[in-house]
Amino acid sequence: MKKIVVLFCLFPFLADAQGKLNKFHVVDSLSGKAVPSVSVTLVRARLSINTEKDGIFMIPGNLASLRDTIILYAQNYKPNQLLTRQLNGRDTLRLTKFAIDFKSKPAKYNNDTLLNSYRKQDIVHYAGVNTGTAKFEYLQLAQQFYTSKPGTILKSIKLNRLAFGLDVSEYTWTHLVHLDVTKFRIRIYDIDPITHGPGRDLCNKVIEESKSVGSQVSINLKKYNIIIPNTSFFVAIEWIRDFYNAGYSVAYDQDGEITRDINYRPALGISAITGKALNIWALNFNREWKPFTYFMPFGTDLAMSAIIAY
Amino acid sequence: MNPNYRYLLISLLCWLPIRSFAQRVYEGQVVNKVTEAPLKNATVALLKAKLAVATDDQGYYKLVVNKPVTNDTLQFSFVGYDTYLLPAANYQPKMFIPLTPANNRLKQVDIAGNKIKTLTLYKFNVSDIKDIRFELMTKDGLVRGGYYTTPVYTNGTFAKQFEAPQVNVKLNTIDLGRRDRDIPTSPEDYPLATSSKYMRFLIHVILPDSAGALGKTIFTKEVYISNGALKITIDLKDKQIIIPTTKFFIAVEWLPIRINEVIYLNVGRKTAGIKKDGSSQIEETAKYSILYQPFLVKFESAVGAVGWQSVDNRHWFKFDFRSPHPSRKHPNHDVALSATIVY
C-alpha cells in the first residue's frame, strides 16, 4: 500500500475538481535523504497535513493555476515558504537544517517543583476539535509556565487529553478503545523576548508520544537535559496531521446545517481555571504564534503540568 | 485476551490499593421530601472528616475530602427539617437527599395554602429523572441494559404546551430535569460523551397565536448553571409574569456557544489507503459530534405531553415524544419541564 495515496485522500474536494496529481519529495538539503513527518500547509486553502517517514506528499490540480502559498516545515529545519505556482515542474523540495548547539553539562538538582497542577475530574472542555463555532486550524498549542528562577531543568510533563474508550484512573475500557489511539510530538520553547510567546526551541531531539491510549499522559524528559534559561518557558503539543490521527468532527453551523470536517487527534484538556491571564498560545497555519482565546475567560490554561528541578 | 490488555489489567490491579486512599467527592441535591423543591443553605457535613458545606440555590452541594475517613457518615441538616444521616459507603453519585419537614413546618404550609392556590403543571418527580437502569432478556438469551430516560436536545428550541385552569395566572417557577448525554449502561462501560456542569440557555414564555400555535414571546430569561444539579428550579416569583391565556408554552432555547459544548463519540470510517489490487482499505476512526447542553430528560409518564421544536423560532414542528425503547411502565412520554402557577 502506497503511503502517498493517504495524503491525496486528505484533499478530496480538490481531487474531484482536478484530475492531475503532483507528487513531491521533501529532502534534507545536504544529505538528500527524505525528511520524515514534514508539516505541509496550504495557507489559503486552510489545509495542513504531515507526510509519512518518506517525506512524500501530493497535491492534486494544475499547479500553474493554483493561487496559494505552501509552507514546509520540520523540526530542526528552517521553514520553506513557496507560492504553489513555484512548485510547477518540480518534484523535489529541500529543507535546510538549523545549526544549533544544544550541548549543556548535566548538573545536580535537588529540589522539584510542580507547575500548573490540574485536577482531571474538573476538565470539561477540550481543544483540538472542529466545533460549530470555530474550526481548529492550528499546528501546535503551547502552555506557558513560569519558574521562580532561571536555569532550572525540565524533568517531566503530564497532560490530559480526550480518550473515551480507556481511562486508566477508572480501570475501564470499551471495545471502542482503538478509536482513541494517537501520537503527537512535544516541543519545548524559550520565551520570545519580543512577542513574549514561544520563541526558540530548547530541545532539538524529536520527542514523540506514540500510540497513546489513556487520557492521562506522563512524559519523562530527564534524558533530554532541557535547561530553561529564563523564568518562563513553553511546552507545546505538535499535532501530527496524518492518517493515523485523522478522524471526523460533526457539528451544526449557524444555519442549522450539518458540517463534517477532518479532525486530528489528540484533543487536549482545558484546565478548569477562570482568570484574566491567558497562558495558552497557538501556532496557526501561517506559522505565527497567537494567544489562544477560544475558551476565554473559562479556559486560560491547558490541562498540562510540568515538574522542574533547580 | 490481547496480551497488551492482560498487561494493562495487571497494572491496574496493582493500582487498586493506592486508589483507596485517593480524594473523594460527594455531590448531589438536597430537596424537600414533600414538595421536592430544592433546599438552599442546607448543611452537608462529613462527621468524622469534620468537613461541611452549604447547598446553593439549586440545593446542590459538593464536598471534596482529600483524606477520606473509614466508616464516615454524611449528615444533611436544615432548620425546620429532620436531619438525615447517610453512611458515606452508601453514597451514590448525584443522589437526591430528601429532607422531611418537621411537623410545625407542615402546619404553616397548610395555613398559607388556604389563601392562594398553587398548582404545578406537568409535575415530575426526582424519581422520574433519576437514571434507573433496566435489563431486558432478548429472545436469544442476551441481557441488554439501558435507562428509562433519554436525552433531549435540539440545535434550536424546544417548546412544551401547558394548559392553566384559568386566565391571568402568575408563573412562579419553572423546573426542568437535566442529564448527561451518555450514561454507561453497565458499571464496566465508560461514557461516550464528555460531561460538563456548566451550561447557559434561554427560557421563553410564549403565548399562543390566534390559531393556537406558538405566537408572541412575553418573557425571556438567560439561565446559567455552574453545578451538577439534575433538577433545576428557575425562580420567577419576582418577575410578575401574568399569563393572559389558559394555553401557553415554555421553551428552552439552546445556545451554540463554547461553554455548552459536549463531544460525543461515534464510529466513523476512513480510507486508510489503496491496496495493490486497487481496492480501498477501510479503517474505523473516531467521529466526534459536537452537541450543546442542556440535555433535557425524556421519561415515561402516565400523562402524555405536546411539544414543538424549531431551528429559527419561526417555523415549528411537532416534537416526537416517542422513546427509542418500547414502553415498560407507561404508554406515554414527557419531557421533564414543569410550570408552577399561582391564582
pLDDT at B22: 66
What is the rounded CA–CA span in Å between residue B338 and residue B335?
9
B257 touches chain A (CB under 8 A): yes
What percentage of chain B carries pLDDT values higher than 90? 55
Domain co-membership, B70 together with B155: no
CA dist., res. A81 & res. A285, Å (int): 12
The set of residues, in sequence order, having a beta carbon less than 8 Å from that of A113 and lying 6+ positions away, is A147, A148, A152, A307, A308, A309, A310
Residue A95 near residue A80 (C-beta atoms within 8 A): yes
B159: which strand partners? B251, B308
Q: What is the DSSP letter of B69?
A: P
* pLDDT of amino acid B20: 41
Query: What is the pLDDT at residue B106?
Result: 47
The torsion defined by the Cα of B273, B275, B276 and B279, in degrees rounded to 10, comes to -110
pLDDT of residue A173: 54
Q: Which of A11, A122, A252 has the highest number of chain B CBs within 10 A, making it the mutation to test binding with B? A: A252
Q: Which pLDDT score, from 0 to 100, does residue B11 have? A: 40
Q: Is the dihedral of CA B60, B63, B64, B70 positive or negative?
A: negative
CB contacts of B227 in chain A (<8 Å) are none
Assign residue A274 a region (left: φ > 0; alpha: ψ between -120 and 50; beta: otherwise): beta
Q: Are strands A21-28 and A92-95 parallel, antiparallel or unpaired?
A: parallel
| Residue with the three cell numbers 402524555 | B304
CATH code, domain carrying B73: 2.60.40.1120
* All cell numbers assigned to B220: 425571556
Domains and CATH numbers, chain A: 5-95 (2.60.40.1120), 112-309 (2.60.120)
Q: What is the pLDDT of residues B239-289, one digit of tens each?
A: 999 999 999 999 999 999 989 999 999 999 988 777 778 788 888 999 999
Cβ contacts of A5 on chain B, cutoff 8 Å? 273-274
Q: Which residues of B touch A212 (CB under 8 A)?
A: none
In this prediction, residue B3 has a pLDDT band, given cuts at 50, 70 and 90, of very low
B281 close contact with A: CB closer than 8 A: yes
Q: Are A125 and B12 inside 8 Å of each other by CB?
A: no
Q: A254 and B191: CB-CB below 8 Å?
A: no
> How many angstroms separate the Cα of A308 from the Cα of each of A81, A113, A289?
36, 5, 24
Residues of A in contact with B5 (CB under 8 A): 173
Are residues B139 and B228 part of one domain? yes
Q: pLDDT at position A252, please?
A: 83
pLDDT at B188: 62
CA distance B133 to B146: 6
**Predicted local distance difference test score (pLDDT) of residue B293:** 94
Of A166-180, A212-226, B236-250, the one with minimum mean pLDDT is: A166-180
Nearest neighbour of A246 by CB, restricted to B156, B190, B270? B270
pLDDT tens digits for range A118-165: 988 889 999 999 988 789 999 999 999 999 999 999 999 999 999 886
Query: Among B76, B104, B132, where does a domain finish?
Result: B104
Same-domain check for residues B209 and B99: no
* CA A120 remoteness from chain centre: 22
Collapsed DSSP state (helix, strand, coil) of residue B42: coil
pLDDT tens-digit map of B113-169? 457 899 999 999 888 887 665 565 666 666 555 567 889 998 899 999 999 999 999
Please state the rounded mean pLDDT for residues A205-222.
88
Same domain, B145 and B64: no
Three-state DSSP class for residue A10:
coil
Residues B230, B316 share a domain: yes
Among B56, B88, B104, residue at a domain's last position: B104
Q: Decide if B253 touches A, using CB distance below 8 A.
A: no
AA identity, residue B62:
K
Choose among A179, A250, A256: nearest Cβ to B290.
A250
What is the SS3 assignment for B18?
helix
Average pLDDT rounded to a whole number, residues B27-48: 92
- Residue in A121, A129, A243 closest to B288 by CB: A129
For chain B, the average pLDDT equals 84
Q: Which pLDDT belongs to residue A66?
A: 84
Lowest mean pLDDT among A97-106, A138-147, A195-204, A235-244: A97-106
Residues of B232-255 as b/e, b for ≥16 C-beta within 10 angstroms?
Answer: bbbebeeeebebeeeebbbbbbbe
- How many domains is chain B partitioned into structurally? 2
Sign of the dihedral defined by the CA atoms of residues B258, B260, B265, B270, in that order? negative
Mention every residue, 6+ apart, whose C-beta is less than 8 A from residue B16.
Answer: A171
Q: Looking only at Cα atoms, what is the longest distance across chain B?
A: 85
- Please compute the mean of the pLDDT values over residues B327-337 and round it to a whole number: 76
In chain B, what residues touch A124 (CB-CB under 8 Å)? 194-198
Q: Please tell me whether residues B119 and B97 are part of one structural domain.
A: no
Q: Does residue A15 register a pLDDT over 50? A: no
Q: The pTM is what?
A: 0.83
Strand partners, A268: A127, A161
Residue B289: name the closest of A131, A289, A308 by CA: A131
B97 & B153 share domain:
no
Helix, strand, or coil here: B2? coil
Mean pLDDT value of segment B21-48: 89
Predicted pLDDT at A17: 47
Nearest-CA residue of chain B relative to A10?
B271
Contact B189 A251 (CB under 8 A): no
- Residue A7: pLDDT band (50, 70, 90) is very low
- pLDDT class of B331 with cuts at 50, 70, 90: low
Residues B22, B131 within the same domain: no
Task: Give which of B75, B119, B121 is closest to B99, Cα–Cα.
Answer: B75
Do B77 and B129 reside in the same domain of the chain?
no
Task: Tell me what ipTM this predicted complex has.
Answer: 0.87
β-sheet bridge partners, residue A190:
A233
Is there a single domain that holds both residue B132 and residue B74?
A: no
Q: What is the mean pLDDT of residues B55-79?
A: 92
Q: What is the mean pLDDT of residues B294-314?
A: 89
For residue B274, the chain A residues in CB contact (below 8 A) are: 1-2, 5
Q: Do B288 and A248 touch (CB under 8 A)?
A: yes
Last residue of a domain, one of B51, B70, B104: B104
Res B189 pLDDT > 70: no
Q: How many other C-beta atoms are found inside a 10 Å radius of the C-beta of residue B22?
A: 11
Residue span of the structural domain in which B177 resides:
106-343
User: In sequence order, what are the residues at sequence separation of 6 or more whose Cβ sits closer than 8 angstroms to the Cβ of residue A71?
Assistant: A39, A40, A41, A43, A79, A80, A81, A285, A286, A287
Closest to A175 in 3D by CA, of B81, B21, B284: B284
Partner residue facing A171 (CB), from B12, B156, B194: B12
Tell me which range, B7-16, B168-177, B263-272, is most confidently predicted by mean pLDDT.
B168-177
- B229 and B239 both lie in a single domain: yes
Asked if B135 and B90 sit in the same domain, the reply is no
Q: Note whether B280 contacts A: Cβ–Cβ < 8 A.
A: no
Counted across chains A and B, CB pairs separated by less than 8 A come out at 124
Tell me which residue in A126, A130, A173 faces B194 most closely, judged by beta carbons: A126
In this structure, what are the phi and psi dihedrals at residue B27, rounded to the nearest 5 degrees?
-150, 150
